[in-house]
Homo-oligomer: A and B are copies of this chain.
Amino acid sequence: MQTVQVPLGERGYDILIGPGALKDVGGHCARLGFAARCAILSDTNVAPLFAATVHKSLVKAGFDPALILVPPGEGSKSLKVFHSCHDQLAAHRMERKSFIVALGGGVVGDLAGFVAATHLRGVALVQVPTTLLAQVDSSVGGKVGVNLKAGKNLVGAFHQPRLVLCDLATLRGLPDREFRAGLAEVIKYGIIYDAALFERLEREMPKILRRHSTTLAEIIARCCQIKADVVGQDETETGLRAILNFGHTIGHGLEAISGYGRYLHGEAIAIGQVAAARLSAELSGFPPADIARIANLFARAGLPTEVRLSASQKQRLFAAMQRDKKVSGGEIKFVLARRIGEVVWGQKVPLARVEAVLEPTANQSVGG
């Protein structure tokens, strides 16, 4: 079991990474001084696989868990499902020292986290992420929330978990498409913070795609460490934390105009990161040759690297980007790369530039 500490003072917590973590959820929670009443929030895809193990572990440790199930998919990050979760928690008579275990991927974690942030003005949250994306990204750092029709994550809070438990066994059965989507965030950490990680991913992509467990455990721990470093320096995104949004402005826009259905989050931000690399070559001194390195790595991970949009789709994309939270003073700000492993945030980019880099060009190598 590897441990990564998130250094947030009295809100600090551990991320435990290793096999068998699911069976120990109850024991870990018992050490945190919670009340007996608690809830497991999961979706109807994940619950049949893992909820019984978690439930049994909690009961064995003396807890009284309710099981709250939501439909799988981004549609559950809605205020309607949020409402239903609160009603179910109230029926279970949660107390102030109660806690919620988020068992699932990013959708479940974001939803359960926002429910925990707001039930009785805040109860404890334990993240048990079961997808690669959730293990390396969404379960750590305290950003929780739901979507509005107008855009993604427009309603939410900062609510740090008390513990994150990453059981590598949950990744074994993950569908290929979801696993690859998680790799989009893994590659992101290399680009924004750690050239050595990026190079390791270039070297070991085949091993990673085979889900080699030691390699995966090391890479997940490194990603969590980077996220913990960043969040520890800027919990509520007044500055540095923005670097975690590399590729996300365009990515969120693509998700929004496709109704959060066509692209998985990781797929959308893969496209967004390649576009951001192109912008970076034009605007922030990023070496043009490294655009292809980035595009190639995404492509080798089985992720899309570009998108063909009609004129009207582009208009909708730009409108969606302007509704994104990253707008300030009416201008769109981007995270741009200086080189692989180093980015700058808060860079104002004119829309025309964004439009240009979204045009797929014949001479760019994006193959595997």
A227-B327 Cα distance, complex, nearest whole Å:
37
Binds B, one of A14-22, A81-89, A295-303, A355-363: A81-89
Specify which chain B residues have a CB less than 8 angstroms from the CB of A148 in the assembled complex.
86-87, 90
A95 touches which of B82, B86, B96, B327 (Cβ 8 Å): B327
A143 contacts partner chain B, Cβ-Cβ < 8 Å:
yes
Pick the contact of A329 from B90, B95, B328, B329 — CB < 8 Å?
B95
Chief secondary structure at chain A's binding surface = mixed
Contact at B79–A83, with CB atoms within 8 Å? yes
Question: Are A121 and B158 neighbours in the complex by a CB distance under 8 Å?
Answer: yes
Q: Using Cβ atoms and an 8 Å threshold, which residues of chain B touch A104? A: none
Q: Cβ of B97 and Cβ of A323 under 8 Å apart?
A: no
A79 touches B86 (CB 8 A): yes
Measured in the bound complex, the distance between the Cα atoms of B147 and A83 in whole Å is 11
In the bound complex, do residue B143 and residue A93 qualify as a contact, i.e. CB atoms below 8 Å apart?
Answer: no
What separation, in Å, do the CA atoms of A93 and B87 have in the docked complex? Answer: 30
A151 at the interface (CB under 8 A from B): yes
Can you name 17 extra interface pairs (CB under 8 A) apart from A35-B329, A93-B323? A86-B154, A87-B148, A87-B150, A90-B151, A90-B154, A91-B150, A93-B322, A93-B327, A95-B328, A114-B118, A118-B118, A118-B156, A121-B145, A121-B153, A121-B156, A121-B325, A122-B158
